[in-house]
Amino acid sequence: MRISTRVCLGIFLMFFSITLLPKTTIFFSPDDNPRRELISLIDNAQQTIIAAVYLITDNDITRALIAAKKRGVEVEVVTDAACRKMPVGKLPRLIREDIPVHIYDPGALPKGTQYGIMHDKFTIFDEDILWTGSFNWTYSASVRNQENAMLIEDEPDLVERYAQRFEVLKTRCHGTMEHKGIAAMHKETIATSLAGLWEEARSMVSQLFGGVVSSGIEDL
């Protein structure tokens, strides 16, 4: 039985169109271990990784980013100022490896804009694959928190929209952290930590001995 050229062409086009359909995979944390999938994406990136992430404290994700940088992948990160001030934040490690890190600064926004935090969590791999959702790059997000992440492929218009957003976020940052900024970052982190410990100590003393002792401490 001969199959006409038209039928063959139709079958080919149908198969070709199916292979180009967008693909979305959903991961829920901690059940689906999205961190494992994220690290796999980082490990398999060939050219570029751009990421806007609120917090970066996970050792394994940080190591994967550094390894990607060392094998020639261009890595660039936007994060919130809260990450800069966290004692367990991984920004110094990224900066030491010459990975550009942009710190979101509400003061860079136009006047009259409501100030807030940079709460995005999205990553684009090789200008083609999008990773987004509520999943922060933290240990808690991997093992304790109820989080979600979406892996989206073959959606070039959507990826481009996120890539444009990344460039917008960079304009709202306080420059790019470099090697020379690490010492200042550590000083700021230590100062923030000491201030937090002092407040905790005051609170404990106040609870144990009452307001009289607390007032005395305030006068010191």
**220 residues of the chain, pLDDT tens digit each:** 455 666 444 544 444 444 456 799 999 999 999 999 999 999 999 999 999 999 999 999 999 999 999 999 999 999 999 998 888 899 999 999 999 999 998 877 777 777 789 999 999 999 999 999 999 999 999 999 999 999 999 999 999 999 999 999 999 998 776 654 544 444 444 444 444 444 454 545 555 665 444 444 333 3
Omega of the bond prior to 30 within 30 degrees of 0, cis? yes
Please name the residue ranges forming H helices in the chain. 5-19, 34-44, 59-70, 81-85, 91-96, 139-143, 156-171, 182-209, 211-218
Please state the pTM of the whole predicted model: 0.73
What distance in Å separates the CA atoms of residue 82 and residue 192, rounded to the nearest whole number?
11
Closest by alpha carbon to 106, among 96, 118, 98, 115? 115
Helix (H) or strand (E) holding 29, with range, is: strand 23-29
The answer to whether 89 touches 54, Cβ cutoff 8 Å, is no
The torsion defined by the Cα of 137, 118, 80 and 71, in degrees rounded to 10, comes to 50
Contact 90, 62 (CB under 8 A): yes
Question: In terms of CATH architecture, what is 21-178?
Answer: 2-Layer Sandwich (3.30)
Instruction: Please state, in angstroms and rounded to a whole number, the distance separating the CA atoms of residues 206 and 204.
Output: 5
**Contacts of range 64-68, beta carbons closer than 8 Å, 24 or more positions apart:** 64/39, 65/94, 65/99, 66/93, 66/94, 66/97, 66/99, 67/42, 67/43, 68/42, 68/43
